[in-house]
A and B are shown apart, each in its own frame.
Chain A
Amino acid sequence: MKHIFKIIAVLVAISAFWVALLETSTVPRSYTWLLPIYLVVALGCYGLFMVGFGLMFFPTCPQEAILLQQDIVEAKEFLAKKGVDVGSE
């Protein structure tokens, strides 16, 4: 099944649940009408939190740039000795 169908199925299930709540009025109607908006807002907050959290703890590796430069120097020395053209820009 294509993934979009799974998402649609979940949305349909949620909508059915929402309509059932509206019909049976176990929860006050005025409140029930607003539930979808609460859901969207909650999703938005979750998204923002995940992005912000991920951004705060984004893994960086500044030392790798230095190690790479060392590797490049080592490689160029070896290759120059063996006759491979490693001329610079």
Chain B
Amino acid sequence: MGEKEMEHTVDRLNRPAYSIIVPTYNERLNVAIIVYLIFKHLPDTNFEIIIVDDGSPDGTQDIIKQLEQLYGEDRVLLRARPKKLGLGTAYLHGLKHATGDFVVIMDADLSHHPKYLPSFIRKQKETGADIVTGTRYVNNGGVHGWNLMRKLTSRGANVLAQTLLQPGASDLTGSFRLYKRSVLEDLISSCVSKGYVFQMEMIVRATRKNYHIEEVPITFVDRVFGISKLGGSEIVGYLKGLVYLLVTT
């Protein structure tokens, strides 16, 4: 191997690349802030941000294009889709354009704060984990913006899921996670659920397949709770999801 090739190999070995996939829909106000914060908290990391926008009518894509100009099209990538097509396929779409060794998924509405990204990366490096998932339900984590009813349903759902499924993670419905690229590809191809049940299915299937899962505490500031209430149909959907996971995993 020539000297230049060896340098290139060593460079790749010393700098794992991270692809951060952020699905967006009508996040005109938040998308720029989250990109700024990611750059702020990952100063010496080799990463790219892949924003999968589902045809937002509020001009989110215009903002993303401005961000591409500001930060470089190799660091911020807009990979849009024509309309709302679901979370699982959004990750798949992002994966197609991702060149990283690791993939981070996170929400665009600032409920997931980029300041935790270094702790995800550090945990993965320390333990060699296949998946690092953020958990809100431990002492250094937490939630803000939930009333008592919301906390009750969350806690009840969690106890039920832990007892019935033994899922291998304390926060099942969380969507702030770091995956090894191959692991994400494998899991996405085996998961068929939608919405938050999809996140549950990913972690449960990962546990069943004996992937190494680690957790880091994260805080979650719920700013949309006032808009999306947790009603009876959500609870029924959750129970259906539990039964589905019981029977198919």
- Determine whether the beta carbon of A55 is less than 8 Å from that of B151: yes
**Interface mask (B135-171 → A, CB under 8 Å = 1, otherwise 0):** 0111111111100100110011011100111100000
Say which size band chain A's interface belongs to. Answer: 20 to 34
Given contacts A55-B151, A55-B152, contact A78 B36 (CB under 8 A): yes
With a cutoff of 8 Å between Cβ atoms, the chain B residues found around residue A50 in the complex are 159
Bound-state CA distance A59–B136 (Å) is: 8
Closest-by-CB residue of A relative to B247 is: A4
Confirm or deny: B29 has a beta carbon within 8 angstroms of a beta carbon on chain A: yes
Would you call the interface of chain A mostly helix, strand, loop, or mixed? helix
Contact at A58–B143, with CB atoms within 8 Å? yes
Whether A76 touches B141, Cβ cut-off 8 Å, given contacts A2-B249, A59-B136, is no
Once A54-B159, A55-B152, A61-B219 are accepted as A-B contacts, the answer to whether A76 and B144 lie under 8 Å apart by CB is no
Chain A interface (Cβ < 8 Å from any Cβ of B): 2-4, 7, 47, 50-51, 54-55, 58-62, 64-65, 68, 71-72, 75-76, 78-79, 82-86, 88-89
B interface size (C-beta, 8 A): 43
A51 CB, nearest partner CB in chain B, Å = 5
Label chain B's interface by main secondary structure: helix
The answer to whether B32 touches A60, judged by C-beta atoms less than 8 angstroms apart, is: no
Closest to A73 in B: B33
Besides A47-B163, A61-B141, 11 other A-B contacts (C-beta < 8 A): A2-B247, A54-B159, A59-B143, A64-B144, A65-B221, A71-B33, A71-B113, A72-B110, A83-B66, A84-B63, A86-B32
3 smallest beta-carbon distances between A and B, as pairs: A61-B142, A59-B142, A75-B36
Interface residues of B in 17-47 (CB under 8 A from A): 29, 32-33, 36-37
List residues of B (93-146) whose CB comes within 8 Å of A's CBs: 110, 113, 136-145
One of B33, B144, B159, B208 near A61 (C-beta < 8 A): B144
